[in-house]
Chains A and B, each alone.
Chain A
C-alpha cells in the first residue's frame, strides 16, 4: 500500500471520529461535509496520473504523502499583546483569532458595527442559519477540488462577516498554527456576505508560531451584492517549511467592486486558486499580488477571472521577487463568456530574479467568446536583476544596498496600493527583511 493511500485513510479515520461531534450540526451542513468528503475519497489529490494541466508546475505529493493530524485545542495561546507585537497594524480593527482552528475569544474583539454581524462561523451557523445556509459552499463548491473538498469536510471554525452597509472598521482574521511535534492540518474557513451597498475591508493573516511543517487548507468565499465593495488583503506569513493549498472565491454582483492584495512570503509549498466570478453587470475586480520567495520555496498562484456578464472590468497585477532556488508559478486566465460584451480585462505578472537558480513560470491566457471586448496581457516571466544591480553598483553603491533598493522599488508598485497606513508600513518592513541575504537580519517566522 502506498503512503498516499495511508494518508487518505487517515482522513477517513478522522472523518469517522468526528461523527458524534457533527450530530449537533444542521443536516444541510452534514450533507455538505459528506459531499466534500466523498469527493476526496473518490478523487484524492491531483498527483501522478490525476495531475492535469492545472497542476503542471506544482507537485503536491509532499502534501499527499504526509499524515497530517487534526490538532487538539491549543494548551497555550498567545496573549493579545503578543499578537499585537507580531501583527502590529490592527489597533482599531475588529479582530478574530483562531489558533489551530479553535476560536480564541481572549485574543479577539469586535469593533462595534451597525448593520453587520462579525462572528465566528460556528456561531453564525446557529445564529444566522438561513443566511449561512444560502451562501456557505455555494461559491466554493464541495466538489470543486481536493482542497475545497477537505476543507468542507473538516473545517472547525472560521470567520463570518455579514454587512448591509459600510463597516466602520476593517476586520482582521488571524489564523495561527502553533508549534507541533507532529505535522497538523487546519482548515480555516471564511465567509463574507456583503449586501447591497455594503463596504467591507477584510484582512486574512496566516501565521505559524514555530518553524516546523504543518499544512493549512483555507477556503474563503465572498459574495458581493449590488453596488457593494470588498477590499481583501491576504497575508501568507507562515514558516517556509509549511504547506498551503487554498481557494478564494469572490462572486461579484451588479456594479460591485472587489479589490484584493495578496502578500505571500510564507509557505514552502503553496498553491492558491483565486477564482473570481463576475456575475453582475458592470462589476470591477482589481487583483494585486506580491510574493517574495527564497530557499526552496515553491509558490503557485492560479488566478482566474470569469467574466459572465457584460461591461465588467478586471485588472490583475502580480509581482514576484525570487531568490536562491525558489520557484514561482503564475497562471492567469481570463474567460469572457458569450454575451459578456464590452468586457475590459488586463493582466500582467512581473518577476525579479535575484539568483540564477530561481525560476519563474508565467502562463497568462485569454479565452474570449464575446464581442467588442478589450483584453490583454503583458507578462514578463523573469527579469533578471543582474543588469539593474550592475547599473547601481557601477555608480558606487554596494551590492547589499543595491539589492535592497531594487527589492524595495520593485515591491513598491504593489505596496503603495495598500490603503491602510500601518498595514503598509508593516508589509514594507516585512519585505525589506524577507531576504536576509541582503539585510543580514532574519525575521522570526
Chain B
C-alpha cells in the first residue's frame, strides 16, 4: 500500500518487532508500526497495555530495557541516542503526566529548549524581544493564560493547564514527529477544542502525529488516518477512523482473544492491509 499523503516512501518513524521490559516484566511484545510524514495515527488500547511505554521508549525515557527490535527515525536507529539528541532530531513527546519543575519558570524553560533546537537546526539565536513576541503569539493562539508563563513549569498547574502547556511547547518547538500521550484526558470541552486546534495547526505534510487516546471524542476534532489497537504489548488491529467508533461502542474484549492470531492478521508493519 502506498502512503496516502507523503512524497517519500520512507517512514519517518518505523518500529520493528519492538520488545520492551521493565525489570522482569515484558511490556511490549513485538510491536510494529510505520508512520509517514503527513499522517496522523491514533493508538488506543486498555489501561496497562503499553501505550505510554511505547511513546516513552521512542522519546528515550530511561528505565526501560529494549530486549529486541529497533526504532528507526528517518531511517536511522535511535536506540543509542539520548532524549535530547532525539528531540534535536525532531521528536517530541507530550507526556501523559507532565513533570513539575520547581524553580524553573515556564518562559525560561521554553526559551532554553527553543535555543537548543534552533542551534541544532543551524538557526541563529533569537533576541529576547523576538522570542517574547513569538511566544506571545503562540500563547494567544492557544488561549494560554500569560500568568502561567511566569510560573514554575507545571507547578501547581491544574490538570488541564498542564496538558495545554504540553501543546504550547509543541507549537513553540515545532518538531517533525509529535507523540501525544493522552493529551486529551482530563480536559473540559473548551480546553479539548483548544488542544485539538493546537494539534491541527501543527498538522501538515511535513509533520507526523501519533496520538494515544482512550476517547473517540478527540478524534472528532483531529481526524486520524489510521487507528491502531494495542493490547498486551502488541498491535492487534489497525484500521481507519471507523475503528475508533467500533471500539467506543464495543470496548476491547472482542479483540482480546486470541491476541496471537490477531497480531498476525495485520501483518508485520502494523498497517491495515
Considering only residues 357-396 of chain A, those with a C-beta below 8 Å from chain B are: 386-388, 390-396
Contacts of B101 in A (CB 8 A): 388, 391-392, 405-406, 409
Q: Is the pair B116, A397 in contact by a Cβ cutoff of 8 Å?
A: yes
A-facing residues in B97-117 (Cβ within 8 Å)? 98-104, 108-109, 112-113, 116-117
Q: Are A396 and B88 in contact (CB under 8 A)?
A: yes
B238 to chain A, nearest CB (A): 27
CB distance from A405 to the nearest CB of B (A): 5
Residue on A nearest B95 in the bound complex, by CB: A391
Q: Is A398 an interface residue (CB 8 A)?
A: yes
The complex places the Cα of A111 from the Cα of B104 at a distance, in Å, of: 39
Question: Is A410 touching B102 in the complex (CB atoms < 8 A)?
Answer: yes
Alpha-carbon gap, A392 to B115, bound state (A): 13
**Size class of B's contact patch?**
20 to 34
How distant is the Cα of A322 from the Cα of B111 in the complex, in angstroms? 27
Contact flags A124-147 to B (C-beta < 8 A → 1, else 0): 000000000000000000000000
What separation, in Å, do the CA atoms of A397 and B108 have in the docked complex? 12
Q: Does B62 contact A (CB under 8 A)?
A: yes
Within 8 A of B (CB), among A389-437: 390-399, 401-402, 405-406, 408-413
| Contacts A396-B173, A412-B103 given; does A390 touch B112 at CB 8 Å | no
Chain B contacts for A406, CB-based, 8 A: 101, 103-104
- Smallest CB gap from B110: residue in A: A395
Q: Check A391–B99 contact: CB distance below 8 A.
A: yes
Contact of A396 among B95, B104, B108, B113 (CB under 8 A): B113
A409 cross-chain contacts in B, Cβ below 8 A: 101-104, 152
In the bound complex, residues from chain A placing their C-beta under 8 Å from that of B112 are 397, 401, 405
A406 to B152, CA, bound (A): 11
The proximity string for A residues 152-169 relative to B, scoring 1 for CB distances below 8 Å and 0 otherwise, is 000000000000000000
Closest to B91 in A: A394
0/1 interface trace, chain B 72-93, chain A, CB 8 Å (1 if under): 0000000000111011100011
Given the interface pairs A406-B104, A409-B103, the reply to whether A393 lies near B82 with Cβ below 8 Å is: yes
Taking a contact as CB atoms under 8 Å apart, the answer to whether B102 and A413 are in contact is yes
B87 with A393: CB separation less than 8 A: yes
Please tell me if the beta carbons of B84 and A398 are within 8 angstroms of each other in the complex. yes
Cα separation A402 to B108 with both chains bound (whole Å) = 12
Query: Out of B62, B102, B120, which one reaches A390, CB within 8 Å?
Result: B62
- Residue B169 is within 8 A (CB to CB) of chain A in the complex: yes
B61, A390: Cβ atoms closer than 8 Å:
yes
A348 to chain B, nearest CB (A): 12
Distance (whole angstroms) from the CB of A398 to the closest CB of chain B: 5
Determine the distance from Cα of A396 to Cα of B83 in the docked complex, in whole angstroms: 7
Contact of B37 with A by CB under 8 A = no
In chain B, what residue has the closest Cβ to A416? B103
Q: Shortest Cβ distance from B84 into chain A, in angstroms?
A: 4
Whose C-beta in chain B lies nearest to the C-beta of A350? B102
By the criterion CB–CB under 8 Å, are A394 and B62 in contact? no
State whether the Cβ of B60 lies closer than 8 Å to any Cβ in chain A: yes
Q: Is B71 at the interface (CB under 8 A from chain A)?
A: no
Task: Give the residue name and chain of the A residue nearest to B84 (CB).
Answer: A393
Contact assessment for A398 and B104 in the assembled complex, using a CB-CB cutoff below 8 Å: no
Nearest CB of chain A from residue B243's CB, rounded to whole Å: 29
Chain B residues near A390: list those with CB within 8 A. 61-62, 83, 99
Distance between B22 CB and nearest chain A CB, rounded to angstroms: 14
Q: Given the known A-B contacts A388-B99, A405-B112, A409-B152, are A393 and B104 also in contact in the complex, defined by CB atoms under 8 Å?
A: no
B104–A405 contact, CB under 8 A?
yes
B9-66 contacts to A (CB < 8 Å): 59-63
**Which of B84, B98, B116 counts the most chain A CB atoms within 10 A?**
B84
- Contact yes or no, A395 B104, CB < 8 A: no
Measured CB to CB, the nearest residue on chain B to A383 is: B102
Q: What is the CB-to-nearest-CB distance from B187 to chain A, in angstroms, rounded to a whole number?
A: 20
Contact: B93 with A410, CB < 8 Å? no
Give complex CA distance A394, B81 in Å: 11
A394 with B83: CB separation less than 8 A: yes
Residues of A within 8 A of B108 (CB): 405
Report chain B residues within 8 Å CB of A387: 99
Which residues of chain A in 285-329 are interfacial with respect to chain B, using CB atoms and an 8 Å cutoff?
Answer: none
Contacts of A392 in B (CB 8 A): 101, 109, 113
> Closest chain B residue to A352 by CB distance?
B102
CA A408 to CA B99, docked complex, whole Å: 17
Complex-state Cα separation, A409 to B155, whole angstroms? 12
Give B155-170 as 1s and 0s: 1 = Cβ < 8 Å from A's Cβ atoms.
0000000000000010
Question: How distant is A69 from chain B, measured CB to nearest CB, in Å?
Answer: 43
- State how many angstroms separate the Cβ of B114 from the closest Cβ of chain A: 8
Q: Are B59 and A394 in contact (CB under 8 A)?
A: yes
Q: Which residues of B contact A411 (CB under 8 A)?
A: 103
**Contact indicator per residue, chain A 201-224, by CB within 8 Å of chain B (1) or not (0):** 000000000000000000000000
Residues of A within 8 A of B59 (CB): 394
In the assembly, what is the distance between CA of A262 and CA of B190, in Å? Answer: 47
Question: Closest chain A residue to B87 by CB distance?
Answer: A396
B173 proximity list for chain A (CB < 8 A): 395-396
Residues on A with beta carbons closer than 8 Å to the beta carbon of B113? 392, 395-397
User: B241: shortest Cβ distance to chain A, in Å?
Assistant: 29
Instruction: State in angstroms the CA–CA spacing of A387 and B100 once bound together.
Output: 9
Contact B82 A399 (CB under 8 A): yes
Specify the chain B residue showing the minimal Cβ separation from A414.
B103
Given the complex, which residues of A lie within 8 Å of B83, measured CB to CB? 390, 393-394
Interface centre among B59, B86, B116, B152 (most CB of A within 10 A): B116
CA A399 – CA B100 in complex, angstroms? Answer: 17
Q: Which 3 A-B pairs have the closest CB atoms?
A: A409-B103, A395-B113, A396-B87
| A–B pairs, 29, beta carbons within 8 Å | A386-B62, A387-B99, A388-B100, A390-B62, A391-B99, A392-B109, A392-B113, A393-B60, A393-B83, A394-B61, A394-B83, A394-B92, A394-B95, A395-B84, A395-B116, A395-B117, A396-B87, A396-B120, A397-B112, A397-B113, A399-B82, A399-B84, A401-B116, A405-B104, A405-B109, A409-B101, A409-B102, A409-B104, A410-B102
Contacts A393-B82, A411-B103 given; 18 further ones with Cβ under 8 A? A387-B99, A392-B101, A393-B60, A393-B83, A394-B60, A394-B83, A394-B95, A395-B113, A395-B169, A396-B120, A396-B173, A397-B113, A401-B116, A405-B108, A406-B104, A409-B101, A409-B104, A413-B103
Binding site for B on A (CB under 8 A): 386-388, 390-399, 401-402, 405-406, 408-413
Which residues of B are in contact with A by a Cβ distance under 8 Å?
Answer: 59-63, 82-84, 86-88, 92-93, 95, 98-104, 108-109, 112-113, 116-117, 120, 152, 169, 173
